Structure 1
Amino acid sequence: MGHDNHLDLPVDDVSAERLAADGLRLGLLDPSDQQAYAAWSRAESRGFHGSRETSEAIEQRRTYVMSRRITGVWDASAPLPDEPVATTEVWPADLTVPGRRSVGSWAISGVTVAPTHRRRGVARALLEAELRTAMAHGTPVATLTVSESTIYGRFGFAPAALARDLTIDTRRARWTGPQPSGRVHFVTADELLADGLALVERVRLETPGQIAYDGILWDRQLGLMIGDEDAKKQRFIRYDDASGQLQGFASYKLTANDRDFTQHRLDLLHLVTATDDAYAALWRFVLEMDLVSEVRAHLRPVDEPVRWMVSDFRAVQVAELDHLWIRILDIEAALGARTYAAPGRLVLGVSDPFGACDGTWALDVDTTGAATVTPSNEPADVALSVEDLAAIYLGGVSPVVLAAAGRITGSAAELEQMFRSPVAPFLSIWF
């Protein structure tokens, strides 16, 4: 099935019946209903401890989500019966996999349950409803970025693309990297609106873990959402190569040190580049900014080269975090979508309590790195859970490490040779 029918699928009967037995209603929300969407939006914002949104901000966001599938759980006995007690929103988004290829994913966002309705199985009903709906849609993988890392493993999700936060002491980090041949320019968000998005799409297939943007993901990155206080401080720069072609852009904000104006903190919000030259130019610009003593960069790749481009390696402090979590729903389509690093044949014994991928599967990889996956009755070479299969899927988590942790048994080294990726998986945004 394609992306165009996800809004036509009915609400999941299994979860709807489970919640109805507890006096709750699982339903789909039509975002063209302004009042209903405003109530849903207030509930979602409350779920993430956000401030109360203005009607203008809610209305702006509503215009972006008309192509998203919005779900809620309502309690008719509550004092505010029109305001859902749980929320999710989903949409189909292409996910980059190793080999400059992509696979369809069911992007799940806005998962909240009101504190008044915890421990009643609402989250399980919501998540399992989304997984069954994704399978009905024919989408091989579900994806999400998480606020809590203890929730989603029980549903077969695992962190498949990690990220790092960098804190850089610019007084110690003298630039030793390449000398770029192009130019850095200040621009506005509006000037990046079309060209910047084209660049994002141009480089998306280079890195496993990236997803295709929809409109709100890009406009939010540019600070164009009503009520975004950080947007007032956001500055944008672009890098043009020697021939004048856009090859990268970045955004940042500055925070003054009240005790010493020469020691501002620069927060690097986004940095996207198509060439090594652009990467060097934009990082150098940021690190050599006057009146700045510290640069913080949130959500950067685990294989960030900038540590090797400054005079003091320890000037760059690193903190690692889990970021993109995935769940495999169609093992034949998901494993068949990516390219593998080495040819071979492995029989995988996969355990999946949910049932989507449970069974024994033969993975045959040819000399071009293309794979076919078929059900098998042979003894398994490797035994692992669907959660661990998700972790190694993009090549960012080593099967050998998971074997040492007691999570994978069998031919982990051969699995490592096949699944590794020359580019560490990375997702550059939250969704």
Structure 2
Amino acid sequence: MTDALTVPVDPVSAGRLAAKNLVYRLVDNGSDADTEAFLRAEARGFLDADPTPEQIAADRALLATRRNVGVFEENAPDGAFPVATVNSWVTPLTVPGGEVGMWAISAVTVSGTHRRRGIARNLLEGELRAAAGAGVAVAGLTVSEATIYERYGFASAIPAAKVSIDAPRAGWNGPATDGRVEYVERETLQKDLSALHEQARTQRSGQIAGWDARWERIAGLSVGHTAPRAVRGVRYVDADGAVRGAMAYTLKEVAGSFRADMEIHHLTSTTTDALAALWRFALQHDLVSKVVVDLRPTDDPITWLVTDQRGVDLTPHDHGWLRLLDVPAALSARTYRAPLDVVFRVEDPLGFAEGSWRLTSGADGTADVTRVDDGAEADVILGVGALSSIYAGGVSAVRLRAAGRLHASTETAAALDDAFRTADAPLLGIWY
């Protein structure tokens, strides 16, 4: 898999920003001054508190694994804050039938003092050109502002659901399980979350590999965590003694009620028994009025595990955004649930995915994707965003057709759904 650390900055974006007296360059991961400036600028961009020296020291190890890019004022001294940041790395993205390398983009910030100067455009387009030049077929990100990224060809492709449950009203009507739920210390919780995610991420399209700092933060072990002692953890151990699920959560007292609300920060499982047992633990926890968790799959079975479904509010929302860069490489990396033979005409203002492509999949689910003459009659006409939306199997081509995002006959749109959609809803269970 491509190592993003070896990829230079995009010369097109570098030239555009140089014309505005701005320097666009890689941050030196070996420099204390560069590292501290990048981390402090990133924190400022996301409205976080200025990191302490201890946090900066702890975060250096993670930063060293990523391709960090900053935009600086011309002639800025060593250690100066970048006026914009972005970082990236290449990670496996689970797709139906396998994996594809994805250029993960994070830490996108532009200083409030440097708006409307084309910096964000050059950051994002620079990342896409760097990824495409490195031969990476797909780019992805999670977003804090959902209206920004569509202009660069990204699209919401991996929905998630926020679940809020009135525990006393919902009750419990799920199955009995043979294993047990047990409390664990935070250090064990961190290890279990990491190991289980690595197992579970291959079970659903949309997941990416995790990293140590992510699990340390969720388990309350990261330096500077606001309330580490409030984090509690449980795991599910099956009848054979294997750990099959884990959950990190906190409890917040409801004023004047002698009861609490439970916020689940991460819930992961590799079996249906583990999932049911952890849900049961949450809903039947003493003195808990409400249970809240985000980043659950949109087909989470929780509404069928309770006595009163009206006690469960499951709200889907956008979460994982994808952007196809190499159409034949991306489409041939996944499998399809039904045979398909269609010609796509893809429109891409940035040019990466532009063109006409024929996808032919057989009974075994594998596909052959070839370029065809742009004058050939197309069965499907769509923008790169629409193609990116349906890629992971979580967005309906029929719905996109109804919204005018995809042009095809009713029958062809339905055939796309039959082929592209996954049996289980895609999931991206973490932020990045």
Q: Do both proteins adopt the same fold according to a TM-score greater than 0.5, normalized to the shorter chain?
A: yes
Q: How well do the aligned residues superpose, as a CA RMSD in angstroms?
A: 1.4
CA contact (8 A) 2:340 2:416 kept: no
Query: Counterpart of 2:215?
Result: 218
Select the residue among 290, 294, 303 that pairs with 1:298: 294
Select the residue among 258, 274, 278 that pairs with 1:278: 274
Cα distance in 2 for residues equivalent to 1:248 and 1:286: 13
Gaps of 5+ in 1: none
Cα distance in 1 for residues equivalent to 2:351 and 2:204: 30
Select the residue among 64, 67, 70 that pairs with 1:69: 67
CA contact (8 A) 1:74 1:81 kept: no
Aligned residue identity for 2:419: M
Structure 1 residue 77, shift from structure 2 partner: 6.9
Gaps of 5+ in 2: none
Cα distance in 2 for residues equivalent to 1:339 and 1:235: 39
Deviates more, 1:30-39 or 1:19-28: 30-39
Structure 1 residue 239, shift from structure 2 partner: 0.5
Query: Counterpart of 2:261?
Result: 265
1:253 corresponds to 2:253: no
Deviation string for 1:151-185 (max 9, x for gaps)?
Answer: 00000000001111111111111110001111111
Query: Counterpart of 2:429?
Result: 428
Cα distance in 1 for residues equivalent to 2:79 and 2:117: 18
Cα distance in 2 for residues equivalent to 1:416 and 1:238: 36
Cα distance in 2 for residues equivalent to 1:415 and 1:11: 37
CA contact (8 A) 2:190 2:218 kept: no
Select the residue among 326, 337, 342 that pairs with 2:333: 337
1:132 corresponds to 2:129: yes
Find the residue that maps to 2:26 and give its secondary structure: strand
Cα distance in 2 for residues equivalent to 1:82 and 1:73: 10
CA contact (8 A) 1:93 1:213 kept: no
Aligned residue identity for 2:423: P
CA contact (8 A) 2:332 2:366 kept: yes
Query: Counterpart of 2:181?
Result: 184
Query: Counterpart of 1:308?
Result: 304
Find the residue that maps to 1:125 and give its secondary structure: helix
Cα distance in 1 for residues equivalent to 2:2 and 2:393: 26
Structure 1 residue 368, shift from structure 2 partner: 0.5
Length, aligned pairs only: 427
Deviation string for 1:364-422 (max 9, x for gaps)?
Answer: 10111101111012311000000000000011110000001111111212212211111
Question: Structure 1 160/229 Cα, relative in aligned 2: closer, same or farther at 3 Å?
Answer: same
Query: Counterpart of 2:96?
Result: 98
Query: Counterpart of 1:327?
Result: 323
Aligned residue identity for 1:143: G
Stretches of 4+ moved more than 3 A in 1?
76-81, 192-196
Structure 1 residue 197, shift from structure 2 partner: 2.0
Query: Counterpart of 1:412?
Result: 413
Select the residue among 386, 389, 399 that pairs with 1:388: 386
1:121 corresponds to 2:118: yes
Structure 1 residue 223, shift from structure 2 partner: 2.4
Cα distance in 2 for residues equivalent to 1:318 and 1:118: 37
Cα distance in 2 for residues equivalent to 1:183 and 1:414: 44
Structure 1 residue 52, shift from structure 2 partner: 1.1
Cα distance in 1 for residues equivalent to 2:211 and 2:2: 12
Deviation string for 1:279-318 (max 9, x for gaps)?
Answer: 1111000110111111111221100101111011110012
Identity of aligned residues (%): 47
Cα distance in 2 for residues equivalent to 1:110 and 1:22: 22
Find the residue that maps to 2:130 and give its secondary structure: helix
Find the residue that maps to 2:104 and give its secondary structure: strand
Structure 1 residue 64, shift from structure 2 partner: 1.8
1:357 corresponds to 2:353: yes
Query: Counterpart of 2:193?
Result: 196
Find the residue that maps to 2:15 and give its secondary structure: helix
Structure 1 residue 68, shift from structure 2 partner: 0.5
Q: TM-score, normalised by structure 2?
A: 0.96
